[in-house]
A and B are shown apart, each in its own frame.
Chain A
């Protein structure tokens, strides 16, 4: 029985794509949502995120011959996404956007609808608003690591490939970023 596309690892898929380019669609569907979220976090705009996502995959398809299996595929792909977004920013803005658009939050709708825990829901929303603002005060490298970790859903090893850094340094960078956000939005509020 042939394995389901979902079960095939990236390295095998890349080899298949080299023989049959149409298999690229499996890689595309596996990563399109994550690449889109990452591009959206970088651009703050749905239309630009769509354009950058399209360019990322087309560049990846074009460059697949140069991909080396010893690197994590997701890290390699997000390295392309990162460069594509960086080029976009250089062409369109003097400063990269780190502000984040209003986003969804869970629970609020139903808390409101049932008049239960509205205060808690609002507090949670205030936390999200604080974090959204506090993110802008982080060093660029920490913002980049958070974008890849949460919006791109990469693990530390994959982020290391995308950023060209060691896995341990990435983990520490993410930990420090989260600690800073916690101190800014939770500890200070409580004190």
Chain B
């Protein structure tokens, strides 16, 4: 048996990265992976913060453990979770009346909106043509996409695994030989699913003809790079880093959207086309079947931008919800999405050895 000291172990756990050679590394990585999804909901974090602040105002000094003070705190907890709240009878009646009025008003307003704003039926060909035009790529532009990904996968052992995260991607579009438009630089940032404001990147990726770069930041704030990468996490050349770097392999909806829409335009007769909703938004859906798999693209009837994508196969179900899809002029960008190292890291950041 290979013994290591307790100090060595503690340091090794802190350093644990994908390429770490020490024998416990796979177990440490698996334990880390187990914790990735267990993030508090952003709404919960804000609600609890507000409730704590309410405690500060009711208790300007540090509260003593009196019964009355404890009641204030307990009430605050109870109000955090309305479904579990334990209100007095009178409050319950008022709350029910209030909820009843709210529901009635919501139904009426929804009905009115549905009747007034319901989009007119358009033929599938027209929708797809509009979508193709809306997502057309032109040289000098930058495509900016933010997607929320949910993957559920059933393993051979009959266990089910789920993965959730948010990906933001910036793609620089330029003219290449033959007049075609191609992505000449790609910057990809990944966030935890709870980080809806995109404040705390988990990783940054960059690919261009001259280099491929990738950095991660773990929960301890440690910045790590790919094996053999330079001091700022770059490898020379436009190598295919995708097998090693998930974030550089953009979701389908980003990579293949144009080709996909073009292909759908030629297969309209074989598609299932519906007016439906996608996560509460009106949508046109186009579903195609390939063997046992079905793939559905949802398009916004107003903007004809993609709203999302759902792939269902016997092994996995992938749902992608588009938060942002825009094609903007490069010169108008308020930030420098293609800068490397990422500007968000600031100067003098340290990469783990």
Contacts and interface: CB of A to CB of B under 8 A. Distances in A.
B155 A25 contact: no
Interface residues of B, number: 72
A114 interface: yes
Contacts of A178: 9, 13, 24, 27-28, 31
A64 to B, nearest CB: 6
Interface stretch (A16-24, A73-81, A88-96): A16-24
Given A51-B81, A178-B27, A112 B48 contact: no
Task: Name the prevailing secondary structure of the A interface residues.
Answer: helix
A122 interface: yes
Interface in B66-93: 69-70, 73, 76-77, 80-81, 84
Contacts of A149: 13
A61 B55 contact: yes
A52 to B, nearest CB: 10
Contacts, number: 208
Contacts of B44: 36, 50, 53
Contacts of A49: 38, 40
A128 B73 contact: no
Contacts of A25: 49, 52-53
Nearest to A157: B10
Contact of B163 (A61, A65, A108, A182): A108
A168 interface: yes
Interface string A159-191: 000000000100110110011011001100000
Interface residues of A, number: 72
Interface string A121-162: 010111111011000000000000010011101011000000
Interface of A: 17-18, 21-22, 24-25, 28-29, 32-34, 36-37, 40-41, 46-47, 49-51, 53-55, 57-58, 61-62, 64-65, 100, 102-114, 116-117, 122, 124-129, 131-132, 146, 149-151, 153, 155-156, 168, 171-172, 174-175, 178-179, 181-182, 185-186
The 7 closest A-B pairs by CB, nearest first: A171-B6, A104-B37, A36-B40, A110-B246, A109-B151, A21-B56, A104-B36
16 contacts: A25-B52, A33-B39, A55-B77, A58-B76, A61-B52, A61-B63, A102-B161, A103-B37, A104-B36, A106-B33, A109-B163, A124-B30, A125-B153, A127-B30, A178-B27, A182-B27
